[in-house]
């Protein structure tokens, strides 16, 4: 049977909306646990996210790391990756900074993430309480048995230091490690 022009338009619009939804869902799930992270590990995953962010913002992002292709427990990789994304997104969105420095280093059983930006700064106590991203980061790092220290003041930019023991049994039941 012939469909009217109106019906065809409705179908076309619906198809477009569904395609858009699928596209953005794909993008979201990719960012949460990107293929690069699964395939190449933490340093490459972080580098990849930085490249994408830097391309979209006029902010200099310096990343140094001594990690090569070491692999860690999935939980550690995913949580640290998301924490880096969250810190960078916060800086880009709220701080008005012109540069971000981060270093990710491994020494002995410890993974260390040092992060800073030269933005407008804030009062950490006030921000930690409002249940936003920072307390989220804090509880993620806690779940790995790590430490998360943040310092900032109005007009002074911000610094964060994260330490995670890569050999420690996390508090939550362990998922099987992927063998590679």
pLDDT of residue 167: 86
Note the pTM of the prediction, 2 decimals: 0.75
Return d(Cα 163, Cα 166) in angstroms, integer: 9
pLDDT at site 34: 72
Angle at 135 between CA 132 and CA 137, to 5 degrees: 105
Q: Are strands 99-107 and 60-65 parallel, antiparallel or unpaired?
A: parallel
What is the band of 1 on the pLDDT scale with cuts at 50, 70, 90? low
Q: What is the pLDDT of residues 7-48, one digit of tens each?
A: 999 999 999 999 888 888 877 776 666 777 888 899 999 999
Which pLDDT does position 44 carry in this prediction? 92
The DSSP 8-state label assigned to residue 122 in this structure reads: -
Strands (E), 53-139: 60-65, 99-107, 110-117
Furthest-apart CA pair in the chain: how many Å?
72
What pLDDT, in 10s, does the model give residues 144-179? 999 999 999 889 999 999 999 998 665 554 455 555
Q: What is the pLDDT of residues 85-117, one digit of tens each?
A: 989 998 998 899 999 999 999 998 999 999 999
d(CA 84, CA 63): 11
The full length of the chain comes to 180
Q: What is the CA radius of gyration of the chain?
A: 20
Mean pLDDT of the region 48-70: 92
The confidence score (pLDDT) of residue 100 equals 97
**∠51-55-63 over CA atoms, to 5°?**
35
Contact between residue 83 and residue 141 where contact means Cβ atoms under 8 Å apart: yes
């Amino acid at each position: 049977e012939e469909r009217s022009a109106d019906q065809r338009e409705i179908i076309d619009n619906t198809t477009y909306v569904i395609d858009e939804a699928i596209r953005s869902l794909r993008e979201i799930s990719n960012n949460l646990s990107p293929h690069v992270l699964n395939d190449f590990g933490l340093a490459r995953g972080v580098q990849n996210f930085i490249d994408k962010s830097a391309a979209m913002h006029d902010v200099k992002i310096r990343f140094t790391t001594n990690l090569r292709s070491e692999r860690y427990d999935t939980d550690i990789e995913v949580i640290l990756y998301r924490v880096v994304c969250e810190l960078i997104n916060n800086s880009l969105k709220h701080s008005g900074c012109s540069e971000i420095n981060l270093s990710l280093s491994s020494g002995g059983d410890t993974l260390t993430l040092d992060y800073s930006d030269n933005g407008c700064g804030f009062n950490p106590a006030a921000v930690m309480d409002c249940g936003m991203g920072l307390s989220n980061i804090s509880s993620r790092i806690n779940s790995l048995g790590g430490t998360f220290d943040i310092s900032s003041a109005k007009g002074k930019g911000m610094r964060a230091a994260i330490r995670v023991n890569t050999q420690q049994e996390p508090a939550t039941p362990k998922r099987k490690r992927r063998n590679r």
